[in-house]
Amino acid sequence: MNPAHTPNTGPTPASWVMILFLGLAWGGAFPMIEIALQGITPFWLASYRIGFATLLSLAVWAALGWKLFDRPLVGRERVNLVAVGLMSSAVPFMLISWGQQYVTAGFTGVAMACVALIVLPLAHFLIPGERITPRKILGFFIGFAGILVLMGPDAFVNNGQRLELAGQLTCLAAAGCYAVSSILIRRLPAVDPIGLSTVLLLIGVVAVIPAALLKEGAPPPVDGPTLFALAVLGLIPTAAANLLRVQVIRTAGPVFMSLTNYQVPVWAVLIGVIFLGEPLHMSLLVATVLILIGVALSQWSALSQLMRRKPG
């Protein structure tokens, strides 16, 4: 059953604990990527990450009986499923891993908050009933201003920092992939969310490992600390967090789940500054505030509904 159509009881204290954990797990993924990159190349980092996540997801899916779609997929739906698999894990994992060689974890976390903004114009043209309102337009432009601040005034000036610019654009491209996948996934028929998550990871594995072999050759030797970082990336913010996400949506609803949009950049910036010694530039703070204001305005109706709902 599609979790978006599953009756929920509203947020409970347990729901708030789960949503805080999800924000921390996803926000902490980017500092962990930065640590892992010290001992492995970016495409193999993505391969290990998605490989660990797939193994855990397969075990859970098997324990639950291998449920997936209510009916077999037809031709276009199969193509759509493959596209979602590529755009929700394989491609953005590779883009983020490559881009974070040249940008901070805080930058990447703030860039991921742009997903909700990118979805706005896509949903307007591709999803019936999802129309852009004046409030959403205002939110989009405030958030876009935040993206410009995030990139910096000299982003497109030839100042010798070519790879930093490439890293910035690559991370924003990853956010675009997540936005596209969130639109495409709505076109799939009724589906078991855990089975879908696992199948999408399997599709990602099939794409990422050959790409790593072609781009970077045989997998490099990995030391203990790097392997630990890779395992954490695959098991916690990728596999376990996706499984917990299903539980949050089933019990508290998809609107409540959207609160993670506001946590991820904050956690990424804080962890990067405190534990990795990343610089805390004023432009990063201003960009974070502008992007989060833009996201809040674009989702105002749903957030208002959530605030009016009584806990439990």
pLDDT at residue 257, as a whole number: 81
State the pLDDT confidence band at 193, using cuts at 50, 70 and 90.
confident
The per-residue pLDDT for range 113-149, each reduced to its tens digit, is 899 889 888 888 877 777 788 988 999 999 999 998 9
Give the residue, 132 or 174, on which the prediction is more confident.
174
Report d(CA 120, CA 33) in Å as an integer: 28
Share of the chain above pLDDT 90, in %: 56
Question: Is the pLDDT confidence value at 302 over 50?
Answer: yes
User: Average pLDDT, whole number, for the chain?
Assistant: 87
* Per-residue confidence (pLDDT) for residue 9, from 0 to 100: 54
How confident is residue 281, by pLDDT bands cut at 50, 70 and 90?
confident
Mean pLDDT of 181-191: 85
Tell me the mean pLDDT in the region 21-46.
96
- The structural domains of the chain, with segments of one domain joined by +, span 3-308
Percent residues over pLDDT 70 in the chain: 90
